[in-house]
Structure 1
Amino acid sequence: MASTSPERPAMGADPAGLAAGRPLRAELTRAEAAKLRLQRAAFVAASLPALWLLARFALDALGVDPVATLTRSTGIWTLNCLMLCLAATPARRHLGWLWPLQIRRLLGLFAFFYGSLHVLVYLAFDHSFALAEIVLDVLRRPYLTAGLLAYAILAALAATSTRTMIRRLGKHWKPLHRLIYLAGIAATLHFLWLVKRDITEPGLYILVLCGLFILRLSRRRRHGSQSPSSFP
């Protein structure tokens, strides 16, 4: 009687498709390792300004006006991380760079982190957490209102950036995260209205933001019949 048991492959032979799948898995593993290295490097780089401020604070080396130094530095790095986050998708679409997309979420979270430090400096050193004074100050000064709006948006986006929240929000997640453009507008207006004389620096951020808007709108005109791509 002939045996009905399945025939085993010869020693050293791969089942069908296994050998072909191994290079793909190896390639995916290399890509994931490269992505992880990039994210770690970006994390270290984005952490350096905060570590430098912490070292200067500990050494009492923040200058004649430490509060102004902390306020300005944390605000500038909030804008820097925010603009880099917004630039990730245009870099992919117009330059073919994939790597900015791999650190876009990290940059957005660091924008929220530096924004939180910026707000904390204002609350602690300018008003000693006096809520009534803070509310009156925000209502009286438009640049504070704009800054608070930008921070509220960043906080909402940071809170909904996890995979769990993406699944829960479903189709509403993408429209919500497009609010990062409004955060960019509010943050640059906050900086512009705060500066009383030389507007060169906030003007540069405004130019960058306008350039990012133009790149996004130009692509929409070229691909108007296609569905919107993922944000930003």
Structure 2
Amino acid sequence: MATTPNDRQLGWIKAVLFALSLVPFARTAWLTVQGELTEPLAYITHATGDWALYFLCITLTVTPLRRLSGWNWVIKLRRMFGLFCFFYALLHFITFLWFDHFFDLAEMWKDVLKRPFITVGFIAFVMLIPLAATSTNGMIRRLGGKRWRWLHRLIYLIAPLAILHFWWMRAGKSDFAEPILLGSIVAVLLGVRVYWARSQAQPARA
């Protein structure tokens, strides 16, 4: 039988995971301030983008983990992981807007339209915004559970677009090992969720 942590224990678990989730940001900031990076812009761009994708995978893992392990309490961690995905995606976008274009929106938009890998990354980021904005209990109540669930199904589009963005970024270096690994993980996680959704829908239709 799965052990369910009490509120105090769950609070400690969340606090520890929250602190650990900030480690990549703190490390990047520290290395930048100390001047230890030979190519700061490239490092910050890749680090923030990579961690946004890692947290996307972690977020997608929560539901299968809950169902397979019986640890229903892990669902309470999904929102935090999803918001950290958005946090690192936002840092990734700000790096692009600030250091690449110095907040010149017109030039940024031209770059978005010109380069496909930026286009798909930008679309994925824009679709993440309403998911982050509606992550509170208040927004769930305002939208209603059904509409909220439909909105958050955007993750089925966001995840493949994020992988495609990552793939095209690595294509210039002919480094496909990590994109293939993360793409496979995302494909399995989304496939499992689709399978379960269809399995639940069939008895209801019958």
TM-score in same-fold range (> 0.5): yes
Is residue 199 from structure 1 mapped to residue 199 from structure 2 by the alignment?
no
Question: Superposed, which structure 2 residues align to 1:49-198 within 5 Å?
Answer: 49-62=24-37, 64-170=38-144, 171-196=146-171, 197-198=174-175
Task: Tell me: CA distance 1:226–1:145, structure 2 relative to 1, closer, same or farther (3 Å).
Answer: farther
* Residue type at the aligned position of 1:148: F
**3-state SS of the aligned residue for 1:57?**
helix
Q: What is the number of residues matched between the two proteins?
A: 198
* Residue type at the aligned position of 1:212: L
Instruction: Confirm or deny: 8 A CA contact 2:163 2:183 kept in the other structure.
Output: yes
Instruction: Confirm or deny: 8 A CA contact 2:45 2:92 kept in the other structure.
Output: yes
Q: 1:88-132: CA deviations, max 9, x gaps?
A: 001111232334312110000000100111011111111111112
1:54, 1:209 → 2: CA distance? Answer: 28
* Residue type at the aligned position of 2:30: A
1:226, 1:40 → 2: CA distance? Answer: 40
Instruction: Confirm or deny: 8 A CA contact 2:60 2:190 kept in the other structure.
Output: no
Structure 1-normalised TM-score?
A: 0.81
- Structure number with the higher helix fraction is 2
What displacement does 1:42 show?
1.1
**3-state SS of the aligned residue for 2:102?**
coil
**3-state SS of the aligned residue for 1:195?**
helix
Q: 1:170-218: CA deviations, max 9, x gaps?
A: 1311100111221111111110112221211111111001111221233
2:123, 2:89 → 1: CA distance? Answer: 11
Unmatched tracts of structure 1, length 5 or more: 1-27, 228-232
1:90, 1:140 → 2: CA distance? Answer: 38
1:226, 1:95 → 2: CA distance? Answer: 23
